[in-house]
Amino acid sequence: MMGALAMGAGALSRPNGNHLEQARLQLGREPRSLPGMRLARRPASLFEYVCWCFILRYCHPCPHIKAPVAI
């Protein structure tokens, strides 16, 4: 539906006419199970956490959808 507002990824946007095919493909996908996260180590302080303190599990992303991008 052209001109309709869509909310996704924390941004408010209007679907562009050249991305309708990609939007339909995205909406037609079957939902997958949510990934999980586990702590690899528990630092003494909240400020000592770094990216390798976390392990992402059960992450099965959908294939990339190609679309033109304006630069």
pLDDT tens by residue, the chain, 71 residues = 555 555 555 555 565 577 889 999 999 999 999 999 999 999 999 999 999 999 999 999 999 999 888 77
Per-residue pLDDT, 67: 86
Query: Which residues have a Cβ under 8 Å from the Cβ of 66 and sit 6 or more positions away?
Result: 22
How many distinct structural domains can be found in the chain?
A: 1
pTM (two decimals): 0.49
Residue 37 inside a domain? The answer is: yes
Range of the domain at 45: 6-57
What is residue 9's predicted lDDT score, i.e. its pLDDT?
53
63 within a domain of the structure (yes/no): no
Give the pLDDT of residue 30: 93
In this structure, the number of other CB atoms found within 10 A of the CB of residue 15 comes to: 16
Q: Is residue 47 part of a domain?
A: yes
Note whether residue 68 is domain-resident. Answer: no
